[in-house]
Structure 1
Amino acid sequence: MTRALSDLDLRLAALLGEAGFTRAEPPLLIAADLVRDLVGEAMARRLFLTSDAEGRELCLRPDYTIPVVQAHLEGPRAAEAAAYAYLGPVFRHRPGMDGQFNQAGIELLGRTDREAAEAEVVALGLKGARLYTDGPLTLALGDVGIFMALVNALGLPPAWRRRLAKDFRRSGMLAGDLKRLAEPARGAPTHAGLLAALEGSDPKAARALVTDLLSIAGITTVGGRSAADVAERFLEQAALGTGGLSAEQLAVVEKLLAIDTDAASAEPAIRDIARGASLAMDEAIDRLARRHQLLADAGIDLAAARFSTRFGRDVDYYTGLVFEIHDGAGTEARPLVGGGRYDRLTEMMAAKLGLATRVPAVGCAFWVERLAAVGGRA
């Protein structure tokens, strides 16, 4: 049975309100297709689904971020900066556990002072966690933007950049694809004539052409996939056969991805590698340096925090800062607080909703039940 909100949960809500975050109360039911397109396969399998009287598929909200962002984008002040807080039930299938549980969190939308907004979220995450426990807390930091800046600086084809971005967020795939990328080319790719004709074409036009060719051939589905899906897969796999990394470039990638150190030492270590390899990564590294300085100014001990260049999250929409707060005593292995910058989520959602708005976004979620357990107040 879902745990009732405690006095500490209500104190957390009050703390967030005092910090300038407006309480958001989004609907419990949201469009299932929108959620599936945003959260990835792993989360999509954990949705609780239903439908309305008109047959539209809905799901119970698996988190607050999606409905809070949707309400903001569709509202009259979507172009303005806003700060939202929430506290209440979310719904995910969790084997052996209650599928309904309480979650608190914050979303900072539209802030153009990116690093200041990020530092504010991390500092408030630590302050909120401290309401529940006096025990040791550890802060883990990462930055998806550093990896993407590395990939862009290597001059890889767009298909490889997209592939490696997905790999970074999904454990176990990155090493294999880096090895594949470093292998020597094995002659001309299959269907080289068609690929040469499509080279330089607009990606949408190329997909449309391949889809039309399949349709002309009478192919509408292959293995349950539509012609459009098959066309997308063909173009991606063909593009992945082009380009490559030299042994020297691969060594630089592996060296950068091996950084796992205290946060105070991370930025100079990354900058040294980038400069030594003449990689144009200064903008991303400068952002990291500004954020770390603002965290230090907020009283956060960077020497006690960890930074890993391999630290990502298992969804595709994080674009910069990622962080987690953990129980330093080790009684709870899962994160107590977690979040980061998710500009890609707002971009994808705006596109799905037919909106042109581009909204910077950063936030975090508090796992209040884990926090209560760590503090001995469950």
Structure 2
Amino acid sequence: MPAESAQRFEALEAQAAALVDVFKGAGYEQVAPSVIQPADVFLDQIGERIRSRTYVFTDLAGEELCLRPDLTVPVSRLYLERHPDADVEARYCYNGPAFRFQPSGATQVHPREFRQAGIECFGVSDRESADVEVVLLAVEAVRAAGLNSFSLRFGDIALFYALLDALELPERWRLKLRHYFWRPPVFHALLAKLAKGERPQENGSVTVLALKLGGESTERAEQLVASYLDRESLPLVGNRALSEITARLLDLGADLLSDPLRKEVATVIEYYLAISAPPKEAANRIAMIAKGAGIDLGAALDATVRRFQRLEENGIDLSRATFATEFGRDLEYYTGLVFQIEAEAQRDIGQIAGGGRYDGLLAHVGAPRDVPAVGSAIHTQRLLAAVARAG
């Protein structure tokens, strides 16, 4: 190993040890989940951006596997192996490699194989306290590694969901807007189409079939679709089941028959997603939008405000933080608070650390119900580079 690489490796190991010491000192047990994971778990939960960068392969037994692109899902699976009923509070920390394809080419701060040191907190019913605990611990760890100049970026997916729930929307549109939240260009295009009353573009026969299914029960709709496929000698393609095809046709038919989204509702959503400001200012602007729209964001907005108050009481300078309503990070399993620690004036490095709440993830990987969960991961190569640049 060249001398420079050896020195970097030693520095990375020393930094990781310091980070893990902070985590263990806060009561987090160190664990080491498997590097190779079932691919379907990740591909279903991590979202489009990370899914396209995940290394997936099939082993000799025909099982589809992947190199873990992050450690939250593997640590969640480890928690469920230990506590199948998911009824126990647990706090774990880790330091290990993750793997992602780099579309622009691998670099020292964006390698294909990179290391994450992080924490995951499971089963704590006091969500606000757990959120604050994780943010404070991530900040403490970054400072312990020598980085004192950084900024914080926050978002809150639960608050956005509360906005959608408070507005007059057909449930299928509400679900679509939730689904596309992580892809802003697609989201805004969809919102504009709904407001203009633009109909989905489909070929004639599909449109006729979708309209014919309108008002039918799911069972009856499946029978009609099966008869149509048989009559037209159209086989089921790939892994798409008859139930999936029918569900999509029923959804299409409902969209074709629906009235346009009220423009004032679309405007409220656009105004909300345009907010990016220090947390207190952002909360005030959200409250003004809610009041103007005649909706109540009550508990969700109050929880957001209380979290920031508690962070400030614990020494976080929120004047240097940003709350962006359209910020959700790249991983689509988040359900509440999300945050990132970013090195100031070092845009090429990107985020140093990030995390958030993901209460729905454990149910998708085997838990009997949703489980309160929140965590954070630090990209240790980026942290090392940022500390070195800061002198």
Structure 1 and Structure 2 fold alike (TM over 0.5): yes
Counterpart of 2:99 in structure 1: which amino acid? F
Residues in 2 aligned to 1:89 and 1:30: alpha-carbon distance in whole angstroms: 13
Choose which of 240, 243, 249 in structure 1 pairs with 2:255.
240
Residues in 2 aligned to 1:31 and 1:100: alpha-carbon distance in whole angstroms: 18
Q: Deviations over 1:86-122 (max 9, x none)?
A: 1011122225324222111111111111111111111
Q: Displacement of 1:216 after TM fit?
A: 4.6
Residues in 1 aligned to 2:287 and 2:112: alpha-carbon distance in whole angstroms: 44
What is the 5 A alignment of 1:329-344?
A: 329-330=345-346, 332-344=348-360
Q: How many residues align?
A: 368
What is the 5 A alignment of 1:46-57?
A: 46-57=53-64
Partner of 2:166 in structure 1?
153
Question: CA RMSD for the aligned pairs?
Answer: 2.7
Counterpart of 2:373 in structure 1: which amino acid? A
Residues 95 and 115 of structure 2 are in contact (CA less than 8 Å); yes or no, is this contact kept in structure 1? yes
Counterpart of 1:286 in structure 2: which amino acid? D
Structure 1 residues 360, 278: closer, same or farther in 2, change over 3 A?
Answer: same
Q: Deviations over 1:323-363 (max 9, x none)?
A: 1111113354510011111122223223xxxx413211111
Partner of 2:374 in structure 1?
362
Residues 220 and 226 of structure 1 are in contact (CA less than 8 Å); yes or no, is this contact kept in structure 2? no
Partner of 1:182 in structure 2?
195
What is the 5 A alignment of 1:290-305?
A: 290-305=306-321
1:220 is aligned to 2:215: no
Choose which of 145, 154, 174 in structure 2 pairs with 1:141.
154
Counterpart of 1:76 in structure 2: which amino acid? H
Residues in 1 aligned to 2:82 and 2:282: alpha-carbon distance in whole angstroms: 40
Structure 1 residues 102, 285: closer, same or farther in 2, change over 3 A?
Answer: same
Partner of 2:213 in structure 1?
194
Q: Deviations over 1:133-171 (max 9, x none)?
A: 345200011111121111111132222112111221113
Structure 1 residues 58, 206: closer, same or farther in 2, change over 3 A?
Answer: farther
Percent of counterpart pairs with the same letter? 37
Residues 146 and 284 of structure 1 are in contact (CA less than 8 Å); yes or no, is this contact kept in structure 2? yes
TM-score where L is the length of structure 1:
0.88
Unaligned runs of 5+ in 1: none
Residues 211 and 228 of structure 1 are in contact (CA less than 8 Å); yes or no, is this contact kept in structure 2? no
Residues in 1 aligned to 2:43 and 2:224: alpha-carbon distance in whole angstroms: 26
Residues 104 and 365 of structure 1 are in contact (CA less than 8 Å); yes or no, is this contact kept in structure 2? yes
Q: Secondary structure at the match of 1:221?
A: coil
What is the 5 A alignment of 1:1-378?
A: 4=9, 5-76=12-83, 78-95=86-103, 96-97=105-106, 98-184=111-197, 191-198=210-217, 212-213=226-227, 216-217=230-231, 218-222=233-237, 225-241=240-256, 242-330=258-346, 332-350=348-366, 355-376=367-388
Q: Displacement of 1:370 after TM fit?
A: 0.4
Structure 1 residues 210, 123: closer, same or farther in 2, change over 3 A?
Answer: farther
Residues 156 and 243 of structure 1 are in contact (CA less than 8 Å); yes or no, is this contact kept in structure 2? no
Residues in 1 aligned to 2:22 and 2:226: alpha-carbon distance in whole angstroms: 57
Q: Secondary structure at the match of 2:351?
A: coil
